[in-house]
Amino acid sequence: MTKHRLNQRSQFATRWLALATVATLASSADALEVDGKLLVGAYRVPAESASARRSYYWELENGVKEVARSRIDAPRELAVVLLGDNASENGKRFEVEFYGGSLLPSTIVVRKGSTLRINNKDEIAHEVYAKGLKAFGPETISPRAIRSIELKEAGSWQLYDRLVTHVRGQLHVLANLVAIAKVNPDGEYSFSDVEPGNYTLRVYHGAKLLVEKPVEVVKRDNRKKEIAIKLDPITLTNSSKPE
């Protein structure tokens, strides 16, 4: 594993650590950590639609070294969430960033009634908006500025940026969202502070729901405060359909 990938991991770990800490403090003594892995090797990033205009005159291989294969940027593009009846009121604020010229993550899943905060860490301004969602209209976010949006309506909307046109995202606002996993570049994900019970695990890639499966989180040892539960690996393919 290259160093920069490790750095990316540590960056995400740091980010989610803060959320986990908050969740842990608020959670009950029975809260569990749930881990899993998405096998993304076979999953190809969907090609741009044929109608999309070619945005260059030339795209040539360099002729010196073989070009690298396109692969999915899992932390940015995939969202793994648990849905259940016992959705808590915790974590009503969800934070995303503009980094590297686009949203991080670009597949955003938030609970209905929560607040979405977008922190622009790019050196250029963005003007992101959700197509069809009035509460999330276009508004300039200057470099190092934050924009907050209250999401009271459940649904799914595509995100666009008026200033940086390659930006694409998907916003899912769900009423029964229990937890959001952190995903690393290798597809490993983990939920923290999950109460025992029956849930539905969903994996989103943009607007596409790749996986939907029931998950039972069972407390096996009453003596331990937190017990890590390993879910079976999930193989993502381009034909993946919700189970």
Residue ranges in contact with another protein by CB under 8 A: 2-4, 7-8, 53-62, 64-70, 76, 99-102, 121-125, 162-167
**Per-residue tokens: 101:** 């010229």
Instruction: Name residue 42's amino acid.
Output: A
Give the residue with the Cβ less far from another protein, 77 or 193.
77
Of the candidates 199, 173, 22, 200, the one whose C-alpha atom is nearest the C-alpha of residue 111 is 173
CB of 225 to another protein, least distance (A): 33
Give the residue with the Cβ less far from another protein, 53 or 223.
53
Instruction: Name residue 103's amino acid.
Output: L
- For residue 235, count other CB atoms closer than 10 A to its CB: 15
CB of 43 to another protein, least distance (A): 17
CB of 101 to another protein, least distance (A): 4
CB of 163 to another protein, least distance (A): 7
CB of 58 to another protein, least distance (A): 5
Alpha carbons 212 and 172: distance in angstroms, whole number: 15
Of the candidates 77, 79, 84, 243, the one whose C-alpha atom is nearest the C-alpha of residue 177 is 84
Q: Which residues pair with 33 in a beta bridge?
A: 228
Longest dimension (CA), the chain: 64
Give the residue with the Cβ less far from another protein, 66 or 85.
66
Alpha carbons 8 and 43: distance in angstroms, whole number: 21
Give the residue with the Cβ less far from another protein, 167 or 217.
167
Give the residue with the Cβ less far from another protein, 56 or 222.
56
Report whether 71 contacts 45 (CB < 8 A).
yes
CB of 117 to another protein, least distance (A): 19
Alpha carbons 31 and 145: distance in angstroms, whole number: 35
Of the candidates 183, 150, 142, 227, the one whose C-alpha atom is nearest the C-alpha of residue 15 is 183
Give the residue with the Cβ less far from another protein, 118 or 177.
118
